[in-house]
Amino acid sequence: MDVARSEVLVISTSVACRSCQARHGVVCGALSAGQLSELGRHSLRRKVDAGCEIIAQGSENSFYSNITRGVVKLCKVMSDGRQQIVGLQFAPDFVGRPFVRESTLSAEAATDAEICVFPRNLLERMILETRELQRSLHAQALNELDAAREWMLTLGRRTAEEKVASLLHLIAAHAETATSTAFDLPLSRAEIADFLGLTIETVSRQLTRLRKEGVIRIENIRHITVPDMDALAKKISG
Amino acid sequence: MDVARSEVLVISTSVACRSCQARHGVVCGALSAGQLSELGRHSLRRKVDAGCEIIAQGSENSFYSNITRGVVKLCKVMSDGRQQIVGLQFAPDFVGRPFVRESTLSAEAATDAEICVFPRNLLERMILETRELQRSLHAQALNELDAAREWMLTLGRRTAEEKVASLLHLIAAHAETATSTAFDLPLSRAEIADFLGLTIETVSRQLTRLRKEGVIRIENIRHITVPDMDALAKKISG
DNA sequence: ATTGCGATTTGATCCAGATCAAATCTCCGT
DNA sequence: ACGGAGATTTGATCTGGATCAAATCGCAAT
C-alpha cells in the first residue's frame, strides 16, 4: 500500500468503522461508543488483493490496521534477497508495531483481504488513553510472542517433514471451516518455504511424501484435506 | 527454583524491594512509592546460581520476577530431548508470561544471577490497576517480539558462520563493559548450539574459523575479544 | 482449443552441517 | 601436584536438504 495515497483516503473517509465491530477487531472491540465514533471518522475500510504490501520493511509506521478478512504475512528480507516469513496474521488481528518509528518487517496480504486502517497518531493516543485497548494489544503481543517462540523451535530443531506438518497444523487451526479437516493454503510453495526456512523443492517433496503416506490429500495445488488430524499431529514431534 | 519453597520465602520476607529500584527494573520502575512498598512486603530478592531453573516448562506460573543481575535463558524442549533457546534476558528484564496459567517454556539462569521475585496474584492485580506498569510490560513484550522475529530470520535463513557471528554480536550489544569489545560468553558451547539450531561441533568449528580469520580472539573458553566490531558485523548479512 | 509463462513437481547431484570418534583442555576435589 | 570427568576441539565420514536441471501442470490471454 502506498503511504501517501492511504493518508489521503483516511482523510476523505467519514463512515464509521463497522467492519471491525462486526469482526470484534482487537482495536474496535476495546473502545467505547464515543471513541469508536471518533476513530471511525478517521479510519478507512480497505480491500487489498493478494500480494499487496500493507507495510514496507524500513518504511515509516504511519498507520495501523485491523484485519477483518483474509491472511496477512509478516516478512523480513535480507539485502541479498534471502527472506523469512516471521508471522501469519488472521482476522481479527491488529497489524503494526506501536511506538516504533520504522518498521523492521513488511506486512503483505497473503490472500485477498480486508483491513481497517487507522492513522498512527490517533491510535497511539487512544492506546495511551484507553486501558482496555492497551490491555488488548498487550495480550495480542504476548500471544504473538508465544507463537514466534514456538516457531523458533520449529525453525531451529525440527526436520523438513516436521516443519511441513507443523505448517499444515497451524493453517488447519486457523481455518474458517468448522471441521478444519479441509482447508485452502493461504501461501504458495515459495511462501511456505520462506516460512519454514526450506527451499520450494523440499517443501514440494515433503508434501508429496505426506500425500503418499496417506496423511493428507492434495485436492488441488491450494487445497488440502486431512483425513485424520491425529495422524498429522503425530508427524510433529512435541 | 522450587515453587513451594519460593512461596514460603515470599511470605517470610518483609524488606522493601531495593534491588529492583537500583536497577530500574521493569516492574519497580513503573510503580508509585506506595505500590512499591506494598510489593516490597511480598517480594523476595534472590540469588540463583548458573543452571538454576527459575520456571519449569509446563509448570504453573505462580510468580514473576525481575532480573537484577546476570543472564537468563528461555528454553523450549521437545519430548525427544531436542531443545531450542528462544530468548536471552538481561537485567533489568521482566521474566514470566502474565495472564497464562501454564508456562510453555523454561527460564533458567545462564550465569549466576540475582532476581526479584513477585507473587503472581499481586503482580497481575497491579498490572491491571497501574497503567504505567501495563505500558511498560507491553513495551517489553513488543521488544521481545522484535528480537524473536529477528532471531527467526537467523534460524531460518542464515548460515552457520552468520549464526555464530550474530550471536557474538548480540552478546556484545548486551555486555556490561562500556566498550563491549571484550566480553564473557554467558553460554556454554552446548547452549550456543541450542540457541542457533546447530550442533556443538559446528559452533566450535565456526568459532575457530572466526578466530583464524582474525575477526575474534578467544582469550579463554568463555571470554572473547573483538578487535574490530565492524569486521564482525560484516560477517552477518543484513 | 492453443499458446505461453509462471508455479509446481520430479530427478540428479552436491555440499554444509550432522554424526561418529578421538584427542585435548579445564578445572575441581583430593 | 595428581587424577578424573565433563567440556571443548579436531578429524573422518555421512546425509538431509540445497542446488541445478528438466519435465509437467494450471491457467490467463488470445
Looking at residue A19, its pLDDT comes to: 64
At B103-152, the pLDDT tens digits run 999 999 999 999 999 999 999 999 999 999 999 999 999 999 999 999 99
DSSP B110: S
Mean pLDDT value across residues B83-107: 96
In degrees, rounded to 5, the angle at the alpha carbon of residue A70 between the alpha carbons of residues B138 and A96 is 25
Mean pLDDT for chain A overall: 90
Strand A217-220 to A223-225 pairing:
antiparallel
Which residues of B lie inside 8 Å of A (Cβ-Cβ)? 74, 76, 78-80, 82-84, 86-87, 97-100, 104-105, 128, 131, 134-135, 137-139, 141-142, 144-146, 148-153, 155-158, 194, 196-197, 237-238
Distance CA A197, CA A206 (A): 14
Contacts of A146 in chain B (CB under 8 A): 97, 100, 104
Which strands sit side by side in the sheet containing A106-109, from one edge to the other?
A53-55, A106-109, A71-77, A83-90
At A1-17, the pLDDT tens digits run 443 334 434 433 444 56
Can you say whether the dihedral through the CA atoms of A27, A30, A35, A36 is positive or negative?
positive
Which strands sit side by side in the sheet containing B182-184, from one edge to the other?
B182-184, B223-225, B217-220
Amino acid identity of residue A99, one-letter, is F
Nearest to B86 among A131, A137, A152 (CB): A152
- Pull the grid cell for residue B237: 548479512
Distance CA B231, CA A140 (A): 38
Q: Is the C-beta of residue B180 closer than 7 Å to nucleic acid chain C?
A: no
Q: Is the C-beta of residue B152 closer than 7 Å to nucleic acid chain D?
A: no
Percentage of chain A lying above the pLDDT 70 cut: 90
**Virtual CA dihedral for A33, A35, A41, A44, nearest 10 degrees?**
-90
Pick the residue from chain A with its C-alpha nearest to B78: A238
ipTM value: 0.94
How many CB atoms neighbour CB A110 within 10 A?
25
Distance CA B238, CA B234 (A): 9
Q: B165 near B210, Cβ under 8 Å?
A: yes
Residue showing cell 517480539:
B145
- Could you give the C-alpha distances from A137 to A16, A19, B130, in angstroms and in order? 21, 19, 16
Q: A61 near A100, Cβ under 8 Å?
A: yes
Looking at residue A196, its pLDDT comes to: 98
Distance CA A106, CA A74 (A): 6
User: Which phi and psi (to 5°) does residue B115 adopt?
Assistant: -130, 160
At A127-161, the pLDDT tens digits run 999 999 999 999 999 999 999 999 999 999 999 99
